[in-house]
């Protein structure tokens, strides 16, 4: 079992290297740019940085299409820059997690190139090859808007290869023990650089079997346990965080008895938060919380409201999916895969009260909160951009053309801008969203019980108000556009309050 439980009370922050801070004038953010902004993250209260993939990649899926697990994308810098980043984080008593996509590689990965050329060679069996493009009919297509099959014909090898995501992302073959070995080598290589853990991307999909949907299979779970044992033995403080966008009961599988993942993103909760706003009704949150089993003692949820992907609606039932589309998708250009590619502020209609209410939920619901870069200043999105790039535009440090992100006049992704939407414009204003978020983060840290305390639902007496007790605090959230008088306290429209329970009882 891991030696320390730091992750159960940490504030996480997700940044995309390419969109955070450019130090070369190329229009693309760099690792050195991240180093330059560590003091900002420290000031904000961040304990652990999560970096999305920065490896060599053709960037057809923003780096989740890895071409070499052991090298840094040249646009982002060098291995020495990465090592310096880790050292600078440690100096500030901060931690770092990186992202590993182990389900698939890019077609440009050397393994795949060898595999397609030589079926009998050392890499011949590294991917899932077959002659039958109808095999595994039960396995769903994830990017339904971009792909119509999970198989892609490869002219060179004269066979089909299997892919869950884009056709340029062939799935690795986990029935091959050599692939397991590669995984452990990759984990060791990065852990030896001083990481604190990994987000394991698309983890439910490692194995395929005939006749089943191919998600969260026993074989996949067994391999996860193997990774966990490997880390526990060799890097006992390292944590594993699962991206497992699964129905609630299957999501729990990724915790196991505390012998699988330390953390799992709370995909079951996330859409319910948006639902409560759309309905002016707190019951979706009460209901999902009532259905949530208690976690093993050494585990923790990763609470999030937005990330680099679409606001996914894959696991939401038909009725609620239409509700969420009608509430949050005014225009079809914002649709990406089965979900909505928008940032938090636009989703909340740029209504400060709603944005703050969402942050209050993020910081008080069970779990450790994950902040998504740019949302703390209320950044807008650019829905004219392809795929999910709408929510991946450069961080806005200052007002003006390059937003303090770049000196280039042609950034790789356009700067969205907006009056008042930059760190420089908000940092000295105590009323700004940035300072309100920061104060809330400090408040959360002042109540470390919020890391692990159980969720105790409280009857609020009003359909639009969520009330619960956690760790000595009574937390109240009003999803209505009207003032609600709860007897002991009045909540303004979209108001929230964290009240010490003793005070509430007086
Ligand atoms: C994960 C990532 C997503 C990526 C996909 C395929 O879901 O979060 O951005 O497109 O995996 O790698």
**Residue 305 · residue 358 · CB < 8 Å:** yes
CA nearest ligand 1 atom 10, residue: 61
Cα 249 to ligand 1 centroid, rounded to whole Å: 22
* Rg value, the chain, Cα: 23
* Model pLDDT, residue 1: 36
Report the Cα–Cα distance between both ends of the chain, in Å, rounded.
42
412-447 tens-digit pLDDT: 999 999 999 999 999 999 999 999 999 999 999 999
Geometric angle at alpha carbon 21, from 19 and 22, rounded to 5°: 100
Residue pointed to by tokens 């490869």:
154
- Beta-carbon contacts of 220 under 8 Å, excluding residues fewer than 6 positions away, are 174, 203, 204, 205, 206, 207
For ligand 1, what atom is nearest to the CA of residue 61?
10
186-204 tens-digit pLDDT: 999 999 999 999 999 999 9
* Model pLDDT, residue 249: 87
Cα 243 to ligand 1 centroid, rounded to whole Å: 9
- With a cut of 50, which residues of the chain have pLDDT below it? 1-3
| DSSP H or E run through 302 | strand 300-304
Please name each of the domains of the chain with its CATH number.
6-103+172-451 (3.20.20.80), 104-171 (3.90.400.10), 456-497 (no CATH)
Whether pTM > 0.95 for this model: the answer is yes
Burial of 334 (0-12, 13-18, 19+ CB in 10 A): buried
Helix residue ranges, H only, 305-454: 318-328, 344-347, 352-364, 423-426, 433-446
Structure tokens at 35: 């180093």
Nearest alpha carbon to residue 484 among 325, 333, 282: 282
C-alpha 78/C-alpha 125 separation (Å) is: 31
Side-by-side strand order, sheet with 129-130: 129-130, 159-162, 151-154
C-alpha 181/C-alpha 240 separation (Å) is: 18
Give φ, ψ of 152 to 5 degrees.
-130, 130
Burial of 381 (0-12, 13-18, 19+ CB in 10 A): buried
280: how many CB neighbours lie within 10 A of its CB?
Answer: 14
Q: Quick one: DSSP state of residue 26? A: S
For ligand 1, what atom is nearest to the CA of residue 309?
9
For ligand 1, what atom is nearest to the CA of residue 143?
10
Mean pLDDT, rounded, of the chain = 97
98: how many CB neighbours lie within 10 A of its CB?
Answer: 20
365-413 tens-digit pLDDT: 999 999 999 999 999 999 999 999 999 999 999 999 999 999 999 999 9
Residues whose beta carbon lies within 6 Å of some atom of ligand 1: 61, 64, 101, 165, 201-202, 243, 308-309
Cα 131 to ligand 1 centroid, rounded to whole Å: 27
Would you report the helix, strand and coil content of the chain in percent, each value rounded to 5?
Answer: 30, 15, 50
């Amino acid at each position: 079992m891991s030696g320390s439980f730091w992750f159960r009370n940490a504030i996480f922050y997700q940044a995309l290297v390419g969109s955070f801070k450019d130090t070369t004038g190329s229009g693309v953010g760099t690792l050195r740019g991240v180093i330059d902004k560590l003091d900002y993250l420290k000031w904000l209260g961040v304990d652990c940085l999560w970096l999305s993939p920065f490896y060599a990649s053709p960037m057809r899926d923003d780096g989740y299409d890895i071409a070499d697990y052991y090298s840094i994308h040249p646009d982002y810098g060098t291995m020495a820059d990465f090592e310096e980043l880790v050292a600078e984080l440690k100096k500030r008593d901060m931690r770092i997690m990186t992202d590993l996509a182990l389900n698939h590689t890019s077609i440009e990965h050397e393994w795949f190139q060898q595999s397609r050329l030589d079926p009998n060679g050392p890499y011949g069996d590294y991917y899932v090859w077959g002659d039958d493009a109808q095999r595994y009919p039960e396995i769903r297509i994830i990017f339904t808007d971009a792909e119509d099959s999970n198989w892609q014909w490869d002219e060179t090898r004269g066979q089909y290869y299997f892919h869950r995501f884009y056709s340029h992302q062939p799935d690795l073959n986990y029935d091959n023990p050599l692939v397991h070995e590669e995984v452990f080598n990759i984990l060791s290589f990065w852990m030896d650089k001083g990481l604190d853990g990994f987000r394991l991307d698309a983890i439910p999909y490692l194995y395929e079997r005939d006749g089943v949907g191919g998600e969260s299979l026993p074989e996949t779970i067994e391999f996860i346990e193997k990774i966990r044992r490997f880390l526990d033995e060799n890097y006992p403080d390292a944590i594993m965080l699962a991206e497992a966008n699964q129905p609630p009961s299957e999501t729990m599988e990724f915790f196991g008895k505390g012998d699988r993942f330390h953390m799992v993103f709370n995909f079951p909760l996330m859409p319910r938060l948006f639902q409560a706003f759309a309905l002016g009704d707190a019951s979706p949150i009460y209901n999902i919380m009532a259905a949530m089993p208690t976690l093993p003692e050494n585990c923790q949820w990763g609470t999030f409201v937005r990330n680099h992907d679409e606001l996914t609606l894959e696991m939401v039932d038909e009725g609620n999916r239409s509700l969420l589309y009608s509430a949050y998708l005014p225009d079809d250009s914002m649709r990406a895969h089965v979900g909505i590619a928008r940032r938090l502020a636009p989703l909340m209609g740029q209504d400060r009260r709603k944005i703050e209410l969402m942050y209050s939920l993020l910081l008080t619901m069970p779990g450790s909160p994950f902040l998504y870069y740019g949302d703390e200043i209320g950044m807008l999105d650019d829905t004219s951009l392809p795929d999910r790039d709408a929510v991946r535009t450069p961080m806005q440090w200052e007002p003006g053309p390059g937003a303090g992100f770049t000196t280039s006049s042609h950034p790789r992704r356009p700067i969205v801008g907006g009056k008042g939407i930059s760190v420089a414009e908000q940092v000295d204003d105590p009323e700004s969203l940035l300072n309100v978020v920061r104060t809330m983060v400090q408040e959360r840290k002042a109540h470390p019980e919020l890391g692990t305390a159980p969720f105790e639902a409280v009857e609020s007496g009003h359909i639009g108000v969520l009330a619960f007790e956690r760790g000595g605090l009574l937390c109240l959230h009003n999803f209505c556009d009207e003032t609600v008088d709860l007897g002991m306290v009045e909540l303004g429209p979209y108001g929230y309050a964290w009240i010490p329970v003793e005070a509430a009882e007086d």
